[in-house]
């Protein structure tokens, strides 16, 4: 089996607070405050993913999930440790895609596809299919700044899923979409998984993780605290015992509560 992602002792630290002007720095120094405070958003994380695995990445808000994905797709580099990946990477990080607010949906689509590595021909070939998937035919020439956050995510997801990637990252994509769209996304991600590509799925919805993934990683304060079986992972997080009513739970788990 081929390794698809290898993360070794990855650490990423952020600065909590910046004093930007000379005045602020001087005042902070005089008061004996630290001028720079750092913390590890990802703290000595190591794991390895085989190609074709689908990973559910879970953890509370601020536990470092988006930061980890940013390092996997190359937006950020780890301060210490190494991250290696194989093949093309596509996906959606921290709900929205990188769009220019002043540009129209059409222009953003073409630009975004190019950044993700599509050629001009490939983009033209898939253009209609992307627009169709996003369901934004009539909004295509509106500037993206006027899109709702849901529409923004739809377009971003539609582009990313059309890339012939070897690794697909989905970071809380479904959080802002409506129900029919969530359904469509999950279905498409299942196709991605079944085609033998590596899937990295961030979600708080136990049900969809159970449906999509065959392994769960849990982050807590930047540290990898669980790596293993899906059910055990969900149990580890205690996400299971929230909704009382069992029937409610099933519906809820599939699509809902994906915040």
Partner 1 sequence: MTDLVEPRPVSTEVDEKDLPPLRPPSADNGLAGVLRRRYLLKLLVRREVISRYQGSLLGLMWSYINPLSQFFIYYFIMGTIFRLHEGIPNFAIHIFSAIVIVHFFAETFGAGTRSIVSNRALVVKMAMPREMFPVATMLVSLYHVGPQLVILLVATTISGWTPDLYGMACLVVAILMIMILGTGLALLFSAANVFFRDVGSSIAIINNVIRFGVPMIYSYEMVATRFGRFEHYYLWNPIADAVLLFQRAFWTGSTDRPTVMPDNLLLWGIGMVGVSLVVLAIGQLVFSRLENKIPERL
Choice from 4, 63, 95, 152 touching ligand ADP (CB under 6 A): 63
Spatial separation of the C-alpha atoms in residues 253 and 240, rounded to whole Å: 9
User: For the stretch 221-240, what's the b/e string if a residue is b when 16 or more beta carbons lie within 10 angstroms of its beta carbon?
Assistant: ebebebeeebeebbebbebe
Stretch that binds ligand ADP, among 61-69, 119-127, 181-189, 243-251 (CB under 6 A): 61-69
Minimal CA–CA distance to 234: which of 202, 201, 205, 193? 205
The entry of partner 1, ligand ADP, Mg ion, none near residue 101 (CB within 5 to 8 angstroms by kind) is: partner 1
Burial class (CB in 10 A: 0-12, 13-18, 19+), 97: buried
Q: Per the structure block, which two tokens stand in for 248? A: 């409610």
Spatial separation of the C-alpha atoms in residues 134 and 158, rounded to whole Å: 5
Q: Are 57 and 230 in contact (CB under 8 A)?
A: no
> Strand, coil or helix: what is 155?
helix
Choice from 1, 22, 31, 61 touching ligand ADP (CB under 6 A): 61
The entry of Mg ion, partner 1, ligand ADP, none near residue 120 (CB within 5 to 8 angstroms by kind) is: partner 1
**Per CB under 6 A, 145 contacts ligand ADP:** no
Radius of gyration of the CA atoms of the chain, in A: 20
Stretch that binds ligand ADP, among 47-55, 64-72, 125-133, 159-167 (CB under 6 A): 64-72
Return the residues of window 222-251 that contact partner 1 according to CB under 8 A: none
Q: Provide the binding-site residues for partner 1, judged by CB under 8 A.
A: 1-4, 6, 14-15, 18, 20, 50-52, 70-77, 79, 82-87, 89, 93-94, 96-103, 107, 110-112, 114-116, 119-120, 126, 129, 132-133, 161-162, 164, 166, 188, 191-192, 195-197
- For Mg ion, the binding residues (CB under 5 A) are 66
């Amino acid at each position: 089996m081929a390794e698809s992602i290898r993360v070794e002792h990855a650490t990423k630290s952020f600065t909590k607070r910046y004093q930007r002007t000379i005045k602020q720095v001087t005042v902070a120094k005089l008061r004996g405050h630290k001028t720079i405070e750092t913390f590890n958003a990802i703290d000595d994380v190591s794991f390895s993913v085989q190609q074709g695995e689908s990973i559910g990445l879970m953890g509370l808000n601020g536990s470092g999930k988006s930061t980890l994905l940013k390092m996997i797709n190359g937006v950020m580099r780890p301060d210490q440790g190494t991250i290696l990946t194989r093949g093309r990477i596509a996906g959606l990080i921290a709900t929205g895609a990188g769009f220019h607010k002043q540009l129209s949906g059409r222009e953003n689509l073409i630009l975004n596809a190019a950044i993700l590595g599509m050629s001009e021909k490939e983009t033209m070939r898939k253009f209609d299919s992307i627009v169709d998937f996003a369901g934004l035919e009539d909004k295509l020439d509106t500037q993206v700044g006027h899109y709702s956050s849901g529409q923004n995510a739809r377009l971003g997801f539609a582009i990313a899923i059309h890339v012939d990637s070897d690794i697909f990252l989905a970071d809380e994509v479904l959080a802002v979409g409506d129900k029919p769209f969530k359904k469509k996304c999950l279905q498409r991600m299942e196709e991605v998984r079944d085609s033998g590509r590596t899937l990295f799925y961030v979600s708080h919805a136990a049900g969809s993780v159970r449906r999509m993934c065959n392994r769960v990683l849990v982050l807590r304060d930047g540290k990898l605290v669980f790596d293993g079986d899906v059910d055990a992972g969900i149990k580890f997080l205690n996400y299971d015992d929230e909704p009382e009513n069992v029937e409610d739970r099933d519906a809820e788990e599939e699509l809902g509560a994906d915040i």
